[in-house]
Every structure is written in C-alpha cells, then in structure tokens.
C-alpha cells in the first residue's frame, strides 16, 4: 500500500511543542482531514483537531495551516510527497491543531455567566 508522510505541529496546554510525523495510507484525492482522522483512529487517539462538516453539515471548523498556508483540512489535498500541518497562528493555541475560535472579547465562562 502506498503511504504519504504528514508532519504535525503539536503542543499546547501542559504538552511541550514538537513536530510528529506519521506515514498514512495514501490514495489519489485524499484530503488532509482524511489523514488526520486516520491518525486519530489508528495511530494516536490523543491528536486534537476540529471538524464538523462530515457530521453536521457545518463549515470552517477544520481550518489550519497546511504547508504554511491557511486552508481547510477537508479541501486541502494530501500528496505522496507529504505535507506539514499546524494550528492557525493568529489564534490562541489550546492543544495540537485546536485554537480558540471565539472572538477576542468573548470566552466560554463569560457566555455561561450571561445565560444564568
């Protein structure tokens, strides 16, 4: 089976920053999101990333950096030479590829307090 390398910038929270590489099964037209899901399901269940388009018909959850450019993991294509993915750099890092997507003046605790 043909494989492709994917390097993932990881870290955040109590975890030190690092880059981890995985060889994922590769087929023509495969998305970066397909590779991330394979990694979480098969190689490393601790990999943190967001997506909702597959389950909720919503968009913009899987945005991240692919080879240094902002892109959607669901539309960015993996190639047999591999890719490097990382979190958005203009948002606060939560863990791995997950960033805080709330507007700067909002946070979850403030929203919860307002609803009580």
Return the pLDDT at 5: 98
- What's the CA gap between 92 and 82, in Å, rounded? 26
Q: What is the mean pLDDT of residues 38-51?
A: 96
- Rounded CA-CA distance 58/52 in Å is 6
Average pLDDT over the chain, rounded to whole? 88
pLDDT value, residue 14: 81
Q: Is the pLDDT of residue 114 over 60?
A: no
User: Could you write out the DSSP letters of every residue in 29-48?
Assistant: T-BHHHHHHHIIIII-TT--
Cβ(61)–Cβ(72) below 8 Å = no
Residue 37 and residue 57 in contact, taking contact as beta carbons nearer than 8 Å:
no
* Contact assessment for residue 8 and residue 96, using Cβ atoms and an 8 Å cutoff: yes
Model confidence over 22-31: pLDDT tens digits? 999 999 999 9
Q: What is the DSSP letter of 77?
A: B
pLDDT tens digits, 6-23: 999 999 978 889 999 999
- The CATH number of the domain holding residue 99 is 3.10.20.30
How many other C-beta atoms can be found within 10 angstroms of the C-beta atom of residue 71? 18
Number of domain units in the chain? 1
pLDDT attached to residue 112? 58
Q: Could you tell me the pLDDT band of residue 101, with boundaries at 50, 70 and 90?
A: confident
For 92, the token pair is 């606060």
Phi, psi of 82 (to 5 degrees): 95, 170
**For residue 31, what are the domain limits?**
3-114
pTM for the model stands at 0.84
């Amino acid at each position: 089976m043909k494989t492709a390398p994917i390097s993932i910038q990881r870290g955040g929270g109590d975890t030190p920053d690092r880059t981890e590489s995985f060889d994922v099964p590769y087929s023509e037209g495969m998305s970066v999101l397909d590779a991330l899901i394979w990694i979480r399901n098969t190689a490393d269940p601790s990999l943190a990333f967001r997506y909702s388009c597959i389950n909720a018909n919503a968009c913009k959850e899987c945005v991240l950096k692919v080879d240094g450019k902002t892109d959607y993991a669901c539309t960015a294509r993996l190639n047999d030479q591999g890719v490097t993915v990382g979190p958005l750099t203009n948002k606060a890092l939560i863990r791995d590829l997950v960033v805080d997507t709330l507007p700067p003046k909002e946070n979850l605790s403030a929203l919860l307090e307002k609803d009580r």
